[in-house]
Amino acid sequence: MANVTDTAFRRLISEIAKPSVMWTEFVSCEALTHDPDSRRRMMTTLKYAEQERPVVAQLFGSKPEQFYESAMIVRDLGFDGIDINMGCPETNVNSQGSGAALILQPDLAVDIVAACKRGAGNLPVSIKTRIGFHHIDYTDWILRLLGTDPEVLTIHGRTRDEMSKVPAHWDVIGEVVALAKLVGSPALILGNGDVKSLG
């Protein structure tokens, strides 16, 4: 989560209750591959400590070639995986064609996953997304993503337009799990949204 899950936060969490995996704040592929000053800023976001492992770098963007370059950088930094953010609902991210805006561009989304996998080498690649853009409409979208063979597919149980204004549709997340099983996808499906209890 942007401005929350930095390395200091992740270290604190690892000392309190070690989770199975941790993710970085999301990092702009454009900034990471654009110019030295932007890259330096992004490299700060990609700092991690060994105690955080396994730690996954989350990337966002809209250009396959930038995902390819960014994935190589992440791989060389020693991360345990790469997560592609196709779920951020923020207008400033969506206006770049990134985050949840990719729901409206499934061909581009597939190209992005392919480019990221090429750059990632043997690192597992996962995807985070939502159950639709304007309204709940996930079947074709999820099938396209599952067709890219992600290691993990995290489903935020709201549409882009719902932001976080309504309760997450956990019933729809269950439908996505059933769909993945129906098509024989080996991807692990994670649900996301309204997780308010640690016990």
Task: Determine how many CB atoms are found less than 10 A away from the CB of residue 47.
Answer: 13
Task: Determine how many CB atoms are found less than 10 A away from the CB of residue 162.
Answer: 21
Tokens of 142: 């999820």
26 neighbors 85 (Cβ within 8 angstroms): yes
Considering 56, 57, 71, 88, which one is annotated as catalytic?
A: 88
Q: Is 121 exposed, middle or buried (0-12, 13-18, 19+ CB in 10 A)?
A: exposed
Q: Is 29 a residue of the active site?
A: no
Crossing angle of helices 139-146 and 170-182, in 10° steps, is: 50
Tokens of 180: 């993945």
Catalytic residue IDs: 88
